[in-house]
Chain A
């Protein structure tokens, strides 16, 4: 059920990446109901900016009743959020998103997450859910950033047996190059080993297009979480149009945000 919630924040922690924060807040219903790929629409006093801002759910603890988001400061609303202290109230609507990441049920599947920047958080959420459902699932996160300290969202994943494959444009950490370069190698290794793979991606649109195109070319199924401006988040404004190959437009918020890569007309 979609709710408007005024949630007390529990923590608002700066990350090593400049201007990046993880905010946790008390929200038992959201923690119980949110699925990987879903998001919340936050109203955070953006001055002359009146619309809510969408943030993917990063992590949840249904027992303790908290959820978190990972965000970077880029405008008035996120600047306001960055100043929030524990106990300050977060006004959000959620959980939002009609179609979410769906893990391939094949137990032998190699789940490959490809994320860029703050596209990684929903993939981290998906990793934890896949692990909880299958202790033996093979999971890899290929995450990209311009430089080492811009790689965010993968904290705690190695501890649950997720293989991390960082990629940096300047070679300061992991693979020197784009995520698609490393993805191509990983898919080739899987193919040689007759290992079925499945790709899930979230990040900047050019990255997701490249990941989607590469996956389609290699015959590997791929889900993309579309990064489109979502004015309302609940399906009433028709503003977050995602073009489909059949010539129609889907709503990024309620028909998505996750789409099969082959459906999207970039």
Chain B
């Protein structure tokens, strides 16, 4: 018998695989293709204080081994989430992680409070690192700004609080420590890597937003290093993500020090991938005579 369950603060996941925010909708869209009752947790699309229309098109371009997105956090807002999206997802036996971006600490805290009082989440992921909506500064590129948002939201909820960190930094360790010190129960990393794409034929940028966030297999080496570095700097658990397409990819993140993992872009190709990854992790543990997933967390030599 292999124990696949992991804990992120007070959140227990039956297996260590969740979904990257913005790559799984609100679950209902893909319910034909995956059993939501078996998934480790569902992390839903970013939810903001007010509805957001998102960025102009084109919003996504494919790149070698990945894609750039500049969606711009299109969503119906927190009240729409609570009334229209949450009831459906609560019909399944799966923990819900809600990704929360914000304009400033008070804006973050407002959504965190609403989610808490409305029992709209089992954990909250603070999106302090979205590359597509920043006003020149992502919170997660600065330890002080990171601490400010996390500390404000810590006062607003007792739910497990994750800080989603940016890879677009020189050294992730001080930022990871700042989030831990400010009261985060865990870290999610990495968010997408900022980049752009140009069309030689038309001599135009391919994205209307010019810049976008790179995701997919091409960013996995970047993500693995950030996860490993952050894990060496903090005691709180890490949800590792960035280019995870298979169980082997996920196992590499666990070895690097992640307690759990998220499939992101892979959902676009195979919305059932989270359960395939969980099954693959179980097979690997069994084949290597491990009895508990915790035995391989941070076990890279």
Interface size on B, residues (CB 8 A): 36
Contact string against B for A residues 209-235, beta-carbon threshold 8 Å, 1 for contact and 0 otherwise:
000000000000000000011011011
Docked complex Cα distance between A4 and B284 (Å): 25
B258 to chain A minimum Cβ distance, whole angstroms, is 22
Contact string against A for B residues 40-75, beta-carbon threshold 8 Å, 1 for contact and 0 otherwise:
000001000000011111111110111101010010
Q: Is the CB of B59 within 8 A of A4?
A: no
Contacts of A228 in B (CB 8 A): 57
Docked complex Cα distance between A48 and B217 (Å): 9
Q: Is the CB of A48 within 8 A of B64?
A: yes
**Given known A-B contacts A43-B269, A50-B66, A52-B269, A236 and B23 have beta carbons under 8 A apart:** yes
Pick from B29, B58, B217: contact of A234, CB below 8 A. Answer: B29
Q: Is the CB of B66 within 8 A of A241?
A: no
Q: Is the CB of A229 within 8 A of B29?
A: no
**Given known A-B contacts A236-B271, A248-B53, A50 and B216 have beta carbons under 8 A apart:** yes
Closest to A3 in B: B32
Docked complex Cα distance between A219 and B19 (Å): 47
Q: Is the CB of A239 within 8 A of B60?
A: yes
Task: Tell me if B270 is interfacial: C-beta within 8 Å of chain A.
Answer: yes
Task: Tell me if A2 is interfacial: C-beta within 8 Å of chain B.
Answer: yes
Q: Is the CB of B216 within 8 A of A231?
A: no
Task: Tell me if A51 is interfacial: C-beta within 8 Å of chain B.
Answer: yes
Task: Tell me if A243 is interfacial: C-beta within 8 Å of chain B.
Answer: yes
Contacts of B267 in A (CB 8 A): 232, 236
Task: Tell me if B280 is interfacial: C-beta within 8 Å of chain A.
Answer: no
Q: Is the CB of B62 within 8 A of A238?
A: no
Docked complex Cα distance between A164 and B42 (Å): 50
Task: Tell me if A1 is interfacial: C-beta within 8 Å of chain B.
Answer: yes
Task: Tell me if A180 is interfacial: C-beta within 8 Å of chain B.
Answer: no
B210 to chain A minimum Cβ distance, whole angstroms, is 16
Task: Tell me if B30 is interfacial: C-beta within 8 Å of chain A.
Answer: yes
B64 to chain A minimum Cβ distance, whole angstroms, is 4
Contact string against A for B residues 91-105, beta-carbon threshold 8 Å, 1 for contact and 0 otherwise:
000000000000000
Task: Tell me if B22 is interfacial: C-beta within 8 Å of chain A.
Answer: yes
Q: Is the CB of A238 within 8 A of B29?
A: no
Closest to B73 in A: A238
Task: Tell me if B24 is interfacial: C-beta within 8 Å of chain A.
Answer: yes
Contacts of A4 in B (CB 8 A): 33, 270-272
**Given known A-B contacts A1-B32, A241-B56, A249 and B74 have beta carbons under 8 A apart:** yes
Q: Is the CB of A51 within 8 A of B22?
A: no
**Given known A-B contacts A50-B66, A243-B57, A236 and B33 have beta carbons under 8 A apart:** no
Task: Tell me if A149 is interfacial: C-beta within 8 Å of chain B.
Answer: no
A38 to chain B minimum Cβ distance, whole angstroms, is 14
**Given known A-B contacts A234-B30, A236-B268, A241 and B67 have beta carbons under 8 A apart:** no
Docked complex Cα distance between A43 and B216 (Å): 15
Contacts of A232 in B (CB 8 A): 267-268, 271
Closest to A93 in B: B33
Q: Is the CB of B33 within 8 A of A239?
A: no
Contacts of B60 in A (CB 8 A): 229, 231, 237, 239-240
Docked complex Cα distance between A50 and B56 (Å): 24
Q: Is the CB of A235 within 8 A of B29?
A: yes
Most buried by A among B55, B57, B268: B268
Q: Is the CB of B268 within 8 A of A52?
A: yes
Contacts of B65 in A (CB 8 A): 48, 50
A90 to chain B minimum Cβ distance, whole angstroms, is 15
Contacts of A179 in B (CB 8 A): none
Q: Is the CB of B32 within 8 A of A237?
A: no
Contacts of B268 in A (CB 8 A): 51-52, 231-232, 236-237
A45 to chain B minimum Cβ distance, whole angstroms, is 12
Contacts of B62 in A (CB 8 A): 49-51, 229, 231
A255 to chain B minimum Cβ distance, whole angstroms, is 12
Q: Is the CB of A50 within 8 A of B29?
A: no
Docked complex Cα distance between A2 and B57 (Å): 26
Q: Is the CB of A2 within 8 A of B33?
A: yes
Task: Tell me if A247 is interfacial: C-beta within 8 Å of chain B.
Answer: yes
Most buried by B among A231, A235, A238, A254: A238
Contacts of A31 in B (CB 8 A): none
Docked complex Cα distance between A231 and B60 (Å): 8
Q: Is the CB of B57 within 8 A of A242?
A: yes
Contacting B at CB under 8 A, from A23-63, are: 43, 48-52
Pick from A50, A229, A235, A238: contact of B54, CB below 8 A. Answer: A238
Binding site for A on B (CB under 8 A): 22-25, 29-30, 32-33, 45, 53-62, 64-67, 69, 71, 74, 216-217, 245, 265, 267-272
Binding site for B on A (CB under 8 A): 1-4, 43, 48-52, 93, 228-229, 231-232, 234-243, 247-249, 254
22 contacts between A and B (CB under 8 A): A2-B32, A48-B64, A50-B62, A50-B269, A51-B67, A229-B60, A231-B60, A231-B67, A231-B268, A232-B267, A232-B268, A232-B271, A234-B25, A236-B25, A236-B29, A236-B30, A236-B271, A237-B22, A238-B74, A240-B60, A241-B55, A249-B74
